[in-house]
Amino acid sequence: MKKLGFDLILLGDPTSGKDTQAVLLMKRYSLKAVESGKHWRTIAKKKNAEGAWLRKTMSLGHPAPVVLMKKFLRDSVRNAPKNKNLIFIGNPKLKPEGQFLTKLLKEKNRDFFVLYLKILVPEILKRTKLRARLKSEDEGVRNRIRYTKRQMSKTVKYFQSLDKLKLINGNQSIPKVTKDILKEIERYSKTIKN
């Protein structure tokens, strides 16, 4: 399997298909997944202070506390395998986390590229309804969308200021989104080789 030579950060709007695209990319390239969602679900089950803090935060519809995310990112970069690049799936969400991860990767001489899957709010609502089998729109879902878009826009602008991010239209079929992602990865590969 081909090693990219740089890490990937796959971000996106809620329900934009980040996990689906990550799986497809891992079949193509030598990548190790850095999945905060799975990690938080494990921590939230623990009967300790960290687990309680995380459960409280998640119940409000907020992302994991920045302190916990930074610890998770630090451990993920520290334990990165030498024969694979990392693919961060859905994280870092907040700008301070993005800045922290950039610093960590720079310290380890690891280059990175960010892809953001963008979808329209009506599509997010439709996909959320299907996933959760909701009969009607939930105000909590709308609040989560607003919060995520507001916070993620700062993270997107930060990575754009580094010239490290490309937006991908997520309102397409899965193969078309994959094709667009691969095109951007190839384009980025060429720029770092020149």
> Per-residue pLDDT tens for 84-94?
999 999 889 88
Q: Which of 52-61, 66-75, 93-102 has the lowest mean pLDDT?
A: 52-61
User: What does the pLDDT read at residue 136?
Assistant: 53
**Alpha-carbon separation of residue 137 from 14, 36, 141, 142, 166 (angstroms):** 15, 27, 7, 8, 31
Mean per-residue pLDDT, 25-51: 86
Per-residue confidence (pLDDT) for residue 122, from 0 to 100: 83
Average pLDDT, integer, range 101-113: 95
Reported as a single tens digit per residue, the pLDDT across 122-141 is 888 888 777 765 555 566 66
More confident residue, 131 or 73: 73
Q: How far is CA 25 from the centre of its chain?
A: 14
Half-sphere exposure of 59 (CA within 13 A, CB side): 7
Exposed e or buried b per residue across 118-141, where buried means at least 16 C-beta atoms within 10 angstroms of its C-beta: bbeeeebbebbbeeeeeeeeeeeb
pLDDT confidence bin for 40, thresholds 50/70/90: confident
pLDDT band at 159 (very low <50, low <70, confident <90, very high): very high
Choice between 122 and 60, residue whose per-residue pLDDT is larger: 122
Residue 80: is its pLDDT beyond 80?
Answer: yes
